[in-house]
Structures are given as C-alpha cells and as structure tokens.
Amino acid sequence: MDRRTFLKTSLAGTALAAAAPASLLGGCAESKPAGEPTPLRLSFQENTAPGETLTEKLDFMEANGIVGFEPGGRGLAERVPELQQLLRGRNIQVSAICAGFSGFILAEDPAVRAEFDRTMKEIIAAAGELGSTGVIMVPAFNKQLPVMPHNADTRAYLVEQLALLGEYALGHGTTVILEPLNRSEAFYLRQVADAASICRDTACEGVCCMGDFWHMTAEETSDYGALYSGGPYLRHVHVASRGKRRMPGEDGELDNYVEGFRALKQMNYPYYVSFECGSTGDRAQTVPVALELLRSQWEQA
Ligand code: MG
C-alpha cells in the first residue's frame, strides 16, 4: 500500500467512524410510532394500471387502494404542473421518480459525467416539487462505456460525488436512491447491502438505496437478509413476478415475497412497494390478482 492509498483508506475509516452514529440514528427512514401494524403502501409506475389515459389509470389506482405513483424522470420538469393537477385531491402521492437522466456518474468522459449531473439535478428539483421520496439512479449500466474501473478508488469517487448530489437533493426536500440491479444489466452494484454501505459512507441523509425483488431473485441469497441490510437507508422497493418480470402471480409458485415482506414489517418500513413489471394478460384482470396476492402475503409475513 503506497502512502496515498494508505491516507485515503485511513481518512475513509475516520470519516466513517465519525459519521456512522449520526446517520444510523437519522438515516433515510423516519420512524413510526411503535405498536401500530406496518401498512403495505403499494405504488404503480405509469404503465402498470389498465386505462388509456393517466386520469383513467389514476382512477383505477385509487379504486384499488394504490397510494403511490412512480413516474419516469425523463422530461419531468415540464410535467410538474400537469402531474400536480392530476394528483390534486387524490389519496395518491408521488412515491419515487424512476431515473430518466442522461449520461452516468461513473463515466470516464467528463462531458458524460457533466451531462449526468445537469440532467439528474433537473429531475431532482422536479422531484422535490412533486414531494417524491427520491430519484432512482444506477451508477453505471453494463452497456455504458467507457466506465471507470470497478475498484476502490472508483468507489471512493462515487461516495464523494453522491454526497454532493445527496446534499443537493436534501436542499430540494428529496433524496437520491441507489438501485442495485442484476449482473446482466449492471455488474457494478448488485446487492442491497453494498448499496446501503455506500449510503452509509457518504454520511449524507440525502443518499438512500432500494431493493428490487426482480433483481434480488438473481443476486441475493435471502430476501429477508437483503431488505433488512438496507436498514435506515432503504427508501424504495420494486416488485415484479420472479420468473419473467410480469405481474406478481404470473409466475405461480415462484412469486413468493413473504420473507422480504417480513423484513419490511420488522423494520417498520414507511415507504412504498412499487410495481415495475409488464403483463402477459389483460391488466384489468392481472393487476387485481397481483394486488390480492401481495396483500395476502403481507398479512402472512
Ligand atoms: Mg427496479
């Protein structure tokens, strides 16, 4: 180990020791009064519900007890007034914003990183106006090249940059949410515990993480362990069927979420479980079946 690496390592250790107690106390999660059962707060992305227009989809969601809406981030700034108007008077909040930025944070090319920073900040500001819990991001998809090497220096760079972005998000009343994916999409970040440890090391409450049951199926050895490891940094959850990423229930026996739900209940997880999936059937039928399945598994958990 050369002096530079040693200094970096020691500094990281010191920062961590100083930061850990504060971020573990506060963290990304807000606590809920003890003793009340944790509700399952379900959310849909824009394409989840049946319906021709967004109004029809939101009507369906409201009639079916869906309390969260997760729009895509692309062009979000221009859609803020429209979305605010569509959600006014409804019992539906913006749960999270699904990506939508250009460029990526771990690009080798500074111009690509700058493009990420500019577009991500635009989405964060719009997310804040919409009262979103956060904006979902991935550090680097496999197809995004050239990318910084997968090593300790890159991780340190990511932590440093995320802390800045997290501060910016906090200034807009929202957060950034790291999403671990499966290896075929993004080798860099694949497990909830790894994402949570990056959040912790930023020592910034504006940097959170999430779990996606679809990706977890490929990468995690335990749904319970994975979601529990998100701890106070866990801000969002995605759900889909576990064989073909359709509506929960479309893959039969594979679609078991009980262990993951048990972790969320034990953590008093206060945020959303949001559908991110397609459907092979008629959504007017497959969506209510999925809701019934998830609600009964939540009871069981
Ligand atoms: Mg996802």
Res. 23: pLDDT tops 60? no
Q: What is the pLDDT of residue 12?
A: 43
Q: Distance from the CA of 191 to the center of ligand 1, in angstroms?
A: 12
Q: Distance from the CA of 247 to the center of ligand 1, in angstroms?
A: 14
* Beta pairing partners, 272: 236
Res. 1: pLDDT tops 50? no
For residues 71 and 100, is the Cβ–Cβ distance under 8 A?
A: no
pTM assigned to the model: 0.90
The length of the chain is: 301
Q: Distance from the CA of 240 to the center of ligand 1, in angstroms?
A: 9
Q: Distance from the CA of 214 to the center of ligand 1, in angstroms?
A: 7
Q: Distance from the CA of 275 to the center of ligand 1, in angstroms?
A: 9
Res. 6: pLDDT tops 80? no
Q: Distance from the CA of 10 to the center of ligand 1, in angstroms?
A: 35
Express each pLDDT in 136-170 by its tens digit. 999 999 999 999 999 999 999 999 999 999 999 99
Min mean pLDDT across 4-18, 245-259, 272-286 is at 4-18
Mean pLDDT of the chain: 91
Q: Distance from the CA of 133 to the center of ligand 1, in angstroms?
A: 15
Give me the residue spans of the domains in the chain: 36-300
Q: Distance from the CA of 289 to the center of ligand 1, in angstroms?
A: 21
Q: Distance from the CA of 278 to the center of ligand 1, in angstroms?
A: 12
**Domain 36-300: assigned CATH number:** 3.20.20.150
Q: Distance from the CA of 236 to the center of ligand 1, in angstroms?
A: 10
The percent of residues in the chain predicted with pLDDT above 70, rounded, is: 89
Q: Distance from the CA of 212 to the center of ligand 1, in angstroms?
A: 5
272: closest CA among 61, 63, 88, 94? 94
Q: Distance from the CA of 277 to the center of ligand 1, in angstroms?
A: 9
Res. 22: pLDDT tops 60? no
The per-residue DSSP string of the chain comes to --HHHHHHHHHHHHHHHHHHHHHHHSSSPPP--TTSPPP--EEEETTTS--SSHHHHHHHHHHTT--EEE-BSTTHHHHHHHHHHHHTTSS-EE--EE---SS-TTBSSHHHHHHHHHHHHHHHHHHHHTT-S-EEE-S--TTS-SB--SSHHHHHHHHHHHHHHHHHHHHTT--EEE----TTT-SS---HHHHHHHHHHHT-TTEEEEEEHHHHHHH-S-HHHHHHHTGGGEEEEEE--TTTS-STTTTGGG---HHHHHHHHHTT--SEEEE----SS-HHHHHHHHHHHHHHHHHH-
Q: Distance from the CA of 137 to the center of ligand 1, in angstroms?
A: 10
Which residues are CB-contacts of 251 (< 8 A; sequence separation ≥ 6)? 241, 242, 243, 244
Q: Distance from the CA of 163 to the center of ligand 1, in angstroms?
A: 22
